[in-house]
Amino acid sequence: MKKFIILMLALAAAMVLAACGEDGGTAEGGSGDDDTLTIGISLPSATHGWMGALIDNAEQQAKELQESEGIEYVMTNAADPNKQANDVDDLIAQGVDVIVMLPIESAALTPVGQKVKDAGIPLVIVDRELENDAATVVVKGDNEGIGINAGEYFIEQLNGQGKIVEISGPPSSVTEQRGSGFKEAIDGQDGMEIIASQSGDFSTEKSLEVMENILQANPEIDAVFTQDDGMALGVLQAIKEAGRTDIQFVTGAGGAKQVFEDIQNDGLMSATFLYSPTMVRDAVKIAGELAQGNEPEETMVIKEATQVTEENVDEYYDPESKF
């Protein structure tokens, strides 16, 4: 009986080893699940505009890493901060090797960022920073630079004299930085005055409505500084429908295809300042390096707020872009 039991145990052990071999497990030198590196990507929900383009770029870059490096990815999209926090909790529970996150709201997602850090998972933050030091790397555009570059452009184009309208974003670090950069640049230009400043909520429709009211209240406007290309499109529509001819130019921020086309066609849109959704590609590439155990070359990556006008717009225009 004793010999029978030993024989049965030996057979069971042999079957387990054979099964491991069939599954391509580490016992046979294969790449089992434990060896697969995975990037978790947590982004807001969107199907169009800047965020829609960013989501597309994130997935395209993740697929390229999957094909070239064998790194898998899990992508989640959320419409609100609570859903995004739950998504990140799930990614932590799945044991992903690194997480890329664009926080819907900085303050609301700061605690879950800390959870990622506490779990020992590298965290790459895109666009909007958290309110703690949980991020391993931050990849963002130069918001203050957008404002400064726009202000300098206005000084040059208006020769230091003009009545300016500002269409800002909703309360956020992005809005604050772009607005303060613009005001810093024109500070000291006594002939330049911001006669109206209202939020367009980064919405074309809201900016159209806001600009309609501003046009009615202000019979003389020289130029409009918008903090976002989507808002600029609403402003352009309002000006066109009102038949106003006093406004010399409008500027935006981002790099939207429609804005580039208006610049190419000598429209009222004369300049924008890059805040490209392709920044997420850098974030995913960095995540791939971190997943493989490599140290980041930089902990803060800031994409330049390049000025785009009729002189260089063809370099940046992509007719296939979703944004």
- Token pair, residue 254, equals 């981002």
Query: Are 284 and 263 contained in the same domain?
Result: no
C-beta separation of 178 from 169 below 8 A: yes
Backbone angles phi, psi at 130, to 5 degrees: -80, 170
Query: Are 79 and 133 contained in the same domain?
Result: yes
- Is residue 27 assigned to a domain? no
- Is residue 203 assigned to a domain? yes
- Is residue 92 assigned to a domain? yes
- Cα gap 240→20, rounded to integer Å: 69
Query: Are 84 and 150 contained in the same domain?
Result: no
- Is residue 244 assigned to a domain? yes
CB atoms within 10 A of CB 75: 16
C-beta separation of 312 from 43 below 8 A: no
The tally of domains found in the chain comes to: 2
Query: Are 157 and 266 contained in the same domain?
Result: yes
**pLDDT at res. 21:** 39
- Is residue 220 assigned to a domain? yes
- Cα gap 258→253, rounded to integer Å: 12
- Is residue 284 assigned to a domain? yes
**pLDDT at res. 322:** 73
Q: Which H or E element spans position 56?
A: helix 49-69
Residue 126 lies in domain:
37-142+277-304
Q: Exposure of 1 by Cβ count < 10 A (0-12 exposed, 13-18 middle, 19+ buried)? A: exposed
Q: Give me the tens of pLDDT residue by residue for the chain, a chain 323 residues long.
A: 444 444 444 444 444 334 443 333 322 222 335 689 999 999 999 877 788 889 999 999 999 999 999 999 999 999 999 999 999 999 999 999 999 999 988 889 999 999 999 999 999 999 888 999 999 999 999 999 999 999 999 999 999 999 999 999 887 778 889 999 999 999 989 999 999 999 998 889 999 999 999 999 999 999 999 999 999 999 999 999 999 999 999 999 999 999 999 999 999 999 999 998 899 999 999 999 999 999 999 999 999 999 999 999 999 998 887 78
What CATH number is attached to the domain comprising 148? 3.40.50.2300
- Token pair, residue 251, equals 């500027």
Query: Are 266 and 169 contained in the same domain?
Result: yes
Query: Are 186 and 262 contained in the same domain?
Result: yes
Query: Are 225 and 135 contained in the same domain?
Result: no
The one-letter code for the residue type at 286 is I
- Is residue 168 assigned to a domain? yes
- Is residue 8 assigned to a domain? no
- Token pair, residue 79, equals 């419409």
Query: Are 149 and 269 contained in the same domain?
Result: yes
Query: Are 193 and 133 contained in the same domain?
Result: no
- Token pair, residue 179, equals 């607005």
- Cα gap 26→287, rounded to integer Å: 25
